[in-house]
Amino acid sequence: MPHYSHTSSEFTTAPRVSFHRSIGGHHQHPGPHRTQVIGLSWTDGEYTGQVNELIQPHGRGRIQYRDGTVLTATWCNGMPIRPTSAQDVTRVPPLLQARRELTLGDSATPKDMHIEPNAQKAHENAASLQIHSFAFILRSNGEWTYAILANRPVESGHNASLRFVLDTEGRTKVLKSKYWSTCIRLVKDSESQTIVKETRGKEEPTASKEESARLNSFQRAVRRVSLDMSTRTFRS
């Protein structure tokens, strides 16, 4: 069963979630319905492959570090668990540092965020976020945190809400509609927003010709997520 512990905020009480499951002490491998990412910032590099519900590497995938080293491995909740052979470690040209790379849980600077002065427009920007899009969330300590939209506990109406995963440990925060204009800011570089596409049972997500070129050159952090979780929910 998933493990939950609770943290509190000034707006709601949100669960700390972990979705790993095991049988007989061994973690289950992902089923035929998988979530795929391309170019996810992870531990000083960019990860491409399967992830779990908390957007941690989970399943088969590869990571390219900034020095050009590429590691292909089987992952479980963010950690490689299967020994790799020599052919699993390769080298490519180092990543170009076009802009500051953000990782889940990072604190924002003003130049990282799109600060919308119009409250109505800011609310609309937040409402338009897609599942697994990145945004900055205002924390109770006054800091803005780089987070990812996990789901919408309440889809519409006066009590509409968004649940964000705040860090790689699985802490979450739920924001009701009345707080969206003041507590959610978009990432300034629009390309850091996740592009969502529904697929079923595919090993690799499809990408446009332009996106493939960006991925192959490793010049930008292109994030494209293929989701198979449209019917899943996060328990409170």
Q: What is the DSSP string of 45-63?
A: EEEEEEE-TTS-EEEEEEE
Average model confidence (pLDDT) across the chain: 68
What is the percent of the chain with per-residue pLDDT over 70, rounded to a whole number?
A: 57
pLDDT at 181: 93
pLDDT at 110: 80
- Contact criterion met (CB below 8 Å) for 189 and 221: no
209 pLDDT tier (thresholds 50, 70, 90) = very low
Per-residue pLDDT, averaged over 86-114, amounts to 68
Q: What is the pLDDT of residues 149-202, one digit of tens each?
A: 999 999 888 899 999 999 888 889 999 999 999 999 998 864 444 333 333 333
Per-residue pLDDT, averaged over 112-137, amounts to 91
pLDDT at 100: 64
pLDDT at 40: 84
- Contact criterion met (CB below 8 Å) for 172 and 16: yes
Q: Which of 230, 194, 175, 229 is nearest to 52 (CA)?
A: 229
Torsion of CA 32, 134, 159, 172, to 10 degrees: 80
pLDDT at 236: 33
pLDDT at 147: 92
Q: How far apart are CA 178 and CA 221, in angstroms?
A: 32
In 128-234, alpha helices (H): 180-183, 209-217
Q: How far apart are CA 142 and CA 126, in angstroms?
A: 19
Q: How far apart are CA 204 and CA 206, in angstroms?
A: 7
- Cα dihedral sign for 186, 163, 122, 140? negative
pLDDT at 203: 37
Q: How far apart are CA 37 and CA 46, in angstroms?
A: 10
Q: Which residue has the higher pLDDT, 175 or 23?
A: 175
- Contact criterion met (CB below 8 Å) for 147 and 136: yes
Q: How far apart are CA 211 and CA 220, in angstroms?
A: 10
pLDDT at 197: 34
Is 70 exceeded by the pLDDT of residue 205? no
pLDDT at 188: 82
Calculate the alpha carbon distances from 87 to 49, 70, 135, 164 in Å.
Answer: 18, 10, 37, 38
Q: Which of 202, 217, 178 is nearest to 49 (CA)?
A: 202
82 pLDDT tier (thresholds 50, 70, 90) = low
Give the 3-state secondary structure of residue 13: strand
Per-residue pLDDT, averaged over 121-137, amounts to 92
Is 50 exceeded by the pLDDT of residue 30? no
Domains parsed from the chain with CATH numbers? 33-101+191-227 (no CATH), 110-190 (2.30.30.140)
pLDDT at 35: 84
Per-residue pLDDT, averaged over 69-95, amounts to 70
C-beta atoms surrounding 98 within 10 Å: 10
135 pLDDT tier (thresholds 50, 70, 90) = very high
